[in-house]
Amino acid sequence: MRSGFPVARRGMVIGLLGGSFDPAHEGHVHITREALRRFGLDRVWWLVSPGNPLKARQPAPMAERIAQARRLMDHPRVVVTDLEARMGTRFTAATLKGLKARYPGVRFVWLMGGDNLVQFHRWDRWEWIMQTVPIGVLARPGSGVKGRLGRAARVYARERVSEAQAERLGHIPAPAWVFADVPLKALSSSAIRARGDWGRSGTPGMPPE
Ligand SMILES: Nc1ncnc2c1ncn2[C@@H]1O[C@H](COP(=O)(O)OP(=O)(O)OP(=O)(O)O)[C@@H](O)[C@H]1O
Ligand SMILES: O=C(O)c1ccc[n+]([C@@H]2O[C@H](COP(=O)([O-])O)[C@@H](O)[C@H]2O)c1
């Protein structure tokens, strides 16, 4: 990855988990492992965001978040990247456009927790995203209860793929999305920040020493 851009071969299926990772925690690790297993992914790339366009709060410096995420997410098929900062994008649609141009022949799958599906219709060019890449949604406490999946799920209800077909997700033409009912982990970056041990404890999500 000398250029800062990870290597990917044609035909690979790569899951993209975008996030603030401020800080990364065991919930991110958990959904990444579940996504690798359930969606037939060759790799997952964590896209550490320069800043979520819908969040007013500025996150911790990119270098700190990347370093902490790499310490936590140690897996041969997972890459923690600052691709969005390198490409100068922060909206997901722009990121996907850039990645598709840079990696022809690679199949991307967008990954997100159920909380993001609920507000997905507020994202820039969300319908274009839906029609461009398959989406794997992972259950999160407080989201995914019947009737609370949000507008995007309603508009694209017929494009929902069953969990039994999820292993082929990267090969199903968009629009296609799966809601994976993974075991729930009630961890969040905001709770860790509120506790105030981010930056002091080596492992967010664990009690400070
Ligand atoms: N415990 C979890 N279970 C399922 N999905 C999660 C979990 N934690 C984070 N995610 C998902 O991972 C992605 C990146 O999350 P993010 O970096 O914003 O962490 P967060 O814990 O949601 O942060 P914050 O509490 O600041 O909103 C998002 O798609 C989010 O929905
Ligand atoms: O493109 C958008 O309009 C958009 C709006 C909100 C969130 N996102 C992306 O969703 C991902 C999760 O964001 P966050 O802050 O919940 O970790 C991250 O990659 C953000 O850039 C993207």
Ligand of minimum distance to the alpha carbon of 180? 1
Tokens, residue 15: 């899951």
Ligand of minimum distance to the alpha carbon of 185? 1
Give the mean pLDDT of 134-157.
87
Helices (H), ranges, 73-149: 83-87, 92-102, 114-118, 126-132
pTM, 2 dp: 0.94
- In angstroms, the CA 102 to CA 82 distance is 15
> Which residue has the CA at smallest separation from atom 21 of ligand 2?
52
Query: Considering the domain 13-195 in this protein, what is its CATH number?
Result: 3.40.50.620
Confidence of residue 201 (pLDDT cuts 50, 70, 90): very low
Residue 75 and residue 37 in contact, taking contact as beta carbons nearer than 8 Å: no
Amino acid making up residue 28: H
Local structure of 79: helix, strand or coil? strand
Ligand 1 pocket, CB under 6 A: 17, 19-22, 27-28, 31, 112-113, 115-116, 138, 140, 185, 187-190
Task: Evaluate if residue 207 carries a pLDDT over 50.
Answer: no
pLDDT of residue 148: 76
Q: Which range in 28-32, 190-194, 200-204 is most confidently predicted, on average pLDDT?
A: 28-32
